Amino acid sequence: MATGILTAALVVGLVGIFMGLFLGVAGIKFKVEVDEKEEAVLAALPGNNCGGCGYAGCSGLAAAIAKGEAPVNACPVGGEAVGAKIAAIMGVEAESSERKVAFVHCQGDCDKTHNDYVYCGSEDCRMMSFVPGGGPKSCNSGCLGYGTCVKACPFDAIHVVNGIAVVDKEKCKACGKCVAVCPKHLISLIPYSAKQVVACSSTDKGPVTMKACDTGCIGCSLCVKNCPQQAVKVENFHAVIDHEKCVGCGICQEKCPKKSIVVNE
């Protein structure tokens, strides 16, 4: 009996030693070399894995930066501070980048826009493509207000207020998830420092817009005619501001008869 127990113990011990040696050799032979810079870059990234950089999470961006395939300041969440840290790790100069924030180009809330009918159903903006007229609002370009962008935002930076989505620019990290998910394409990333913004996306002719919304852009071009910097133009009956030219004088906002141009605050 004792001999059998000792034999079994010896066999188990030898098998354990063999497996240990085997795993040790296999670990050395099949070891995946890790780029130390990649690990350092990954540690410097905020770890939100939001995908706003265009890569599959922070690890994907870290690998791309380490290989020189992405700029050191590619993380929209980390901004310049993280970009500077990564630049030091990579031994390069960090290019200056302006902070951006999301902006909803619509102010057709429950008080300013008109409805064609009362809608009762799934509260998901993306489902409106299956609903007559693209939704109950008379303006086919207006914010539907069902909060699909709110659900997509990982930073609690966007909320529906009185029927339209509104961005908190201080919380926004410009990850772009709200931009991607909005079926009406009402949200864009603009410079944080932008002063005046066109809060409308309608490209309908003036009379059509006025019937749908009290504050929609009618393409009257008064903003264009009065801008001293030639920073505004009208395309498809819709005003567009060139933020690189705009100095924030506010004349376009003052002259807009429909108050479609607002302060970015």
| Three-class DSSP category at 259 | coil
10-residue block means of pLDDT along the chain (265 residues)?
63 67 61 72 89 86 90 87 89 82 95 91 88 90 95 95 96 93 95 95 94 95 96 95 95 97 93
Map out the domains of the chain as residue ranges.
36-90, 98-192, 194-265
pLDDT of residue 2: 58
What confidence score (pLDDT) does residue 48 get? 85
Task: Name the CA dihedral angle for 106, 110, 114, 118, rounded to a multiple of 10 degrees.
Answer: 120
Candidates 148, 139, 151, 264; CA nearest to 211 is 139
E runs forming strands in the chain: 100-104, 158-161, 164-167, 187-191, 196-198, 232-235, 238-241, 261-263
What confidence score (pLDDT) does residue 20 get? 66
Cα Rg for the chain, rounded, in angstroms? 28
Three-state DSSP state, 47: coil
Which H or E run includes 104? strand 100-104
Helix axes 57-66, 36-44, angle to 10 degrees: 130
Pairing of strands 196-198, 187-191: unpaired
The pLDDT of residue 50 is 84
Fold of 98-192: Alpha-Beta Plaits (3.30.70)
pLDDT of residue 10: 66
Homologous superfamily, domain 36-90: Electron transport complex subunit B, putative Fe-S cluster (1.10.15.40)
What's residue 215's pLDDT?
95
Placement of tokens 């795993």 in the chain: 23
The 3-state DSSP class for residue 101 equals: strand
Q: What is the fold, at CATH topology level, of the domain defined by 194-265? A: Alpha-Beta Plaits (3.30.70)
Q: One fold for both 36-90 and 98-192?
A: no
The C-alpha atoms of residue 222 and residue 256 are separated, in whole angstroms, by 7
* pLDDT given for residue 211 in this prediction: 94
10 Å Cβ neighbour count for 75?
A: 28
Identify the pLDDT of residue 228.
Answer: 96
Phi, psi for residue 17 in degrees, rounded to 5: -65, -45
In this prediction, residue 76 carries a pLDDT of: 87
DSSP three-state, residue 178:
helix
